[in-house]
Structure 1
């Protein structure tokens, strides 16, 4: 498949660095450069700007590799996040810097990244050739991909000019020796050949539970080193955000108390949930439902649940009802990111009816997660199976990059009120 030059990260890094870091330095510091009198303030500023643009472009490249991600959504949060980190370094170590240069560089950085991502979206339509045998036909319902049906008379030597990849159901017994030879020649010519399950997983962000036995379960084990790092990061983030979170918590508590001023219901709602390793713990949430919401037993929440109060609908939509779970995170019962903890009654039922459901408990449950931002609420068992496939994808791709993407999508939902919940 022919690649455009702009699709190479190295070219974007060099171009971005020249435009965002070097160009404003030449314009603003030209007299100092001519007189060979460059100041430490200018050097620090160029290093800071270079760090932001380089790490931003690398992060955007990693984030947009995950299924269903619109690159434009991640640009501003990525630039802001990395910019804040670099700014904190300058502040903590009291390094001198040029305000005018950094402002000019920041404007150029936003313009460059947005323009770059717009162009990348225009030239990177995925084209995949598929062998029309077995489960390959089931891929055709996946949008944003141009599917091209292959015939036994296609020429593998020409594939490098027309396809990003070729997909086939390699486990299907009807895959003839002729097809196998053609697929082998395709791979030798430089066009990757994938099994149908790999492609479905990478394009949908879900790990199909029907065919989980075809994966090596050992490969789904999360990184133990990252589990430790994640625990430290969770604690650090909560401590650092406490000055902002505590006032918000107080305001939400006052709003709930006003909503329930005619009864004596508590502001917090507690419920037993299943955590890592199947252990039971008490989860905290702000009360968002009416007092007798579960008088008829445990019920699955829906996007338009009639049990939710008016103020409760707002805090659920913006995820503010989850803030008390910071207590659970500090106690080590939950993480900021992970599969949502489920009620005991539902877990008992799903363990019996949904294959591999227990496997989602191999990591700590989270306040937000991949299934939450990609799917939202599950109102029945079929939707729970879909959410489980998202959870298994998260466990298999357990990493800092995926956690960062989930954080960005969660913040987007909190600020705009739109997105999966």
Structure 2
């Protein structure tokens, strides 16, 4: 009897250790990995256009014009692949919609570098490489689309029961502590749940032994919703509450240079809008309001006036039928044109192109008394556009502050070039569609 019982235990143990992580087989790792994208894609992007233009033995003779072109193709393609892969990690990224803009931006940057350094290059080869890069990225996206949808097993205890899936995340609710032969990307559990039975704890330990990630509900909730709970503020991806100071410095430089480059293009637009506002209603062209800025230092933010001029009034906008909004104001608000004068705030170093939207001083002082950790949003420079605006829309200042703050904390936690690029693309989509305007 004892030997039979031991054999049963051994059999159960061996079965439990047969759990296999999704995409863990060698051919899956190769086909879905970054190495495959670069090792196979790069020769196509560089080789096909070069062969078509210079022939089969082009590598035997590489003057500067060919070398510069190959370097530009290589740099643009690698930057494209890395950017798309990093952006895909964020909620609602819709990578397919950003393939063409990302490829275009990276190749334009490569051309800009060649232009300003006055290096020669072959336009035909560079354009052909651009087209091959587009094709490679789109084919890779549609072929691997079904594999990019996360499949997670949910342990049904505690807060894990509140989790809801999306088009990007497929949730599988477990009825007993066993994966039943189904391969998943990870297991999600509320590791702080008081009602988690011992057999489920053993199940989670077994998953870890089988190299299947076990995630706490908090991590998955953030990755699905794109928000960080205000009452559960934790460190960012660098392991500290302080965002990367190196990237903050680089970003400030990029903002100022971009503002200087954009200003000559925007000046005619600013002049036309100013005239229209002046003809439409009485009052000043610009609306200046004290806002709480970087490190909780107040500054005056510039906007085009979009309402009838009335001294005093609310610090926040009422719904879309607000009678204070002028005819011109309704149009410029819809397409974010009223925000254009903030380029001068960027030049002064008071704002960034991308960051948490600055609140009025009065509202900031009120929220600091009512909302935990509210002042933490001032650890980075405020922006013209931000994660909360592209995900939640431009809600009225007094509405949904708790949810908006969760988006701001998510941005600060993942403060990086990649999320800024994603926000920039989403902002352009908002400008052209008018979504989320208020």
Both proteins in one fold, TM over 0.5: yes
Matching residue of 1:132: 156
1:330 and 2:347 aligned: yes
Residue among 270, 291, 306 paired with 1:288: 306
Alpha-carbon separation, structure 1, partners of 2:71 and 2:246: 31
1:18 deviates by 2.2
Aligned in 2, Cα 1:37/1:403: closer, same or farther, shift over 3 Å? closer
Q: How many residue pairs are counted as aligned between the two chains?
A: 411
Q: Deviations over 1:118-174 (max 9, x none)?
A: 333233221110110000011126554221112344158x4xx52111100001111
1:30 and 2:51 aligned: no
Secondary structure of the corresponding residue to residue 219 of structure 1: coil
Does the Cα contact within 8 Å between 1:187 and 1:193 map onto a contact in 2?
yes
1:109 deviates by 1.8
Matching residue of 1:181: 202
1:24 deviates by 1.6
1:2 and 2:22 aligned: yes
Residue among 408, 412, 419 paired with 2:425: 408
Secondary structure of the corresponding residue to residue 248 of structure 1: helix
Alpha-carbon separation, structure 2, partners of 1:282 and 1:408: 27
1:322 deviates by 1.2
Matching residue of 1:108: 132
Residue among 286, 289, 300 paired with 1:268: 286
1:78 and 2:122 aligned: no
Does the Cα contact within 8 Å between 2:292 and 2:360 map onto a contact in 1?
yes
Does the Cα contact within 8 Å between 2:393 and 2:435 map onto a contact in 1?
no
Secondary structure of the corresponding residue to residue 94 of structure 1: coil
Secondary structure of the corresponding residue to residue 270 of structure 1: strand
Secondary structure of the corresponding residue to residue 220 of structure 1: coil
Tell me whether 382-391 or 308-317 shows the greater mean CA deviation: 308-317
Tell me whether 248-257 or 229-238 shows the greater mean CA deviation: 248-257
Matching residue of 2:230: 209
Aligned in 2, Cα 1:194/1:420: closer, same or farther, shift over 3 Å? farther
Alpha-carbon separation, structure 2, partners of 1:122 and 1:257: 54
Does the Cα contact within 8 Å between 1:318 and 1:414 map onto a contact in 2?
yes
Alpha-carbon separation, structure 2, partners of 1:253 and 1:15: 53
1:257 deviates by 2.2
Residue among 53, 59, 78 paired with 2:83: 59
1:303 deviates by 4.9
Alpha-carbon separation, structure 2, partners of 1:202 and 1:356: 21
Q: CA RMSD in A?
A: 2.3
- Return the index of the structure with the highest Cα Rg: 2
Residue among 46, 54, 57 paired with 1:21: 46
Alpha-carbon separation, structure 1, partners of 2:353 and 2:221: 28
Secondary structure of the corresponding residue to residue 284 of structure 1: strand
Aligned in 2, Cα 1:168/1:303: closer, same or farther, shift over 3 Å? farther
1:420 deviates by 6.7
Q: Deviations over 1:333-384 (max 9, x none)?
A: 2222111111123223322332222221222211111111111223375611
Give 1:15-414 correspondences, 5 Å limit: 15-30=40-55, 33=58, 36-140=60-164, 142=166, 144-155=168-179, 158=181, 162-212=183-233, 215-216=234-235, 219-260=240-281, 263=282, 265-292=283-310, 295-303=312-320, 305-379=322-396, 383-414=400-431
Does the Cα contact within 8 Å between 2:339 and 2:384 map onto a contact in 1?
yes
Alpha-carbon separation, structure 1, partners of 2:132 and 2:421: 24
1:276 deviates by 2.1
1:419 deviates by 5.2
Alpha-carbon separation, structure 2, partners of 1:222 and 1:100: 42
1:28 deviates by 1.8
Secondary structure of the corresponding residue to residue 248 of structure 2: helix
Give structure 1 stretches of 5+ with no counterpart: none
Aligned in 2, Cα 1:222/1:216: closer, same or farther, shift over 3 Å? closer
| TM-score with structure 2 setting the length | 0.87
Alpha-carbon separation, structure 2, partners of 1:141 and 1:53: 33
Alpha-carbon separation, structure 2, partners of 1:344 and 1:365: 13
Alpha-carbon separation, structure 1, partners of 2:259 and 2:96: 28
Alpha-carbon separation, structure 1, partners of 2:85 and 2:235: 28
